[in-house]
Amino acid sequence: MMLLLFAVFAITLVGCSLMVVLHRNPVTSALFLVVAFCALAGLYLLLQAEFLAMVQVIVYAGAIMVLFLFVIMYLNLKRDVEDGLQFALRRGAGWLLGILLLGTAALFLSRGWAPGATTEASPPPIGNSAAIGRLLYSRYLFPFELTSILLLVGIVGAVVIGRGRAKPPGSEEPAP
Amino acid sequence: MSAPMAVPLSWMLALSGVVFVIGLIGVLVRRNALVIFMSIELMLNAANLAFVAFARQLDSLDGQVFVFFVMTVAAAEVAIGLAIIVNVFRLRETVYVDEINLLKG
């Protein structure tokens, strides 16, 4: 059963990832990315990381992808045009490098350095979320606080950068 | 747990590697900055999958906490990156990375 679920999620994930990279229309790419993230959330569930599966759906499939779609629609992009010798060369080089890297990974994997199944279920006495929360507020308290500062910097940076250059007075657009 | 068989760790790692390579190819091949960003997200998620798989293997939650931090960084990165892309689009009317040569003098 678990293997079947793994197969379904893995095939969905790889297929949707390929569509993200290969599709010419950015909106379609973004929608396929949502499906890929949901499949990844399923994989997290298989690995007994319920909290992360939830956060994956909420943060990635929800917040980040909505941001992507907003920007794509705001920019009103047409389908990508990628013709000509230069692009063909670049595409060939990209695929070649990727396949090379994949071959290296396969070589390492074939050495059998990661044997055995993931350990059989030993569910923690308290829930996954509670355990992660305790870890966050004890051993990882300092990184957790740094994360909040990072997010603050991100908010301020996004607002400052997204506002654009100051326009001369009199030509101000009305606030959205 | 009544599951008959757990998924081998190496399968999870192989899946993670495949997704990472797909993201890498996307970064190398595409010229739309937005699609490049999505590919970067794919690579981050592949790394997250490896983290979670190892956390499961070692029966420890530290890997999952790390994934939490990676997600935070990814969220901040996407917000700022998209703001930069919007700004560049206002300036140059394009999101194709090979037409953006602001630093070329």
- Sign, CA dihedral B37-B39-B41-B43, equals negative
Interface ipTM: 0.87
**Is residue A27 classed exposed, middle or buried when 0-12, 13-18 and 19+ CB atoms within 10 A define those classes?**
middle
**Distance separating alpha carbons of residues A127 and A53, to the nearest angstrom:** 14
**Distance separating alpha carbons of residues A68 and A26, to the nearest angstrom:** 10
B31-94: CATH topology is: Helix Hairpins (1.10.287)
Within 8 A of A140 by CB-CB distance, chain B residues are 65
Ranges of chain A whose pLDDT falls below 70: 78-83, 112-127, 164-176
pTM assigned to the model: 0.81
Find, in chain B, the residue whose alpha carbon is nearest to that of A33: B38
Q: Which of B20, B41, B92 should be substituted to probe chain A, the one whose Cβ sees the most A Cβ atoms within 10 Å?
A: B41
Domain ranges of chain B: 31-94
Within 8 A of B52 by CB-CB distance, chain A residues are 43-44, 47, 49, 52
For A78-98, what is each residue's pLDDT tens digit? 666 666 777 788 888 888 888
Q: Which of residues 21-40 of B touch A (CB under 8 A)?
A: 21-26, 28-32, 34-35, 37-39
What phi and psi values does residue A82 have, to the nearest 5 degrees? -135, 80
> How is residue A63 annotated by DSSP?
I
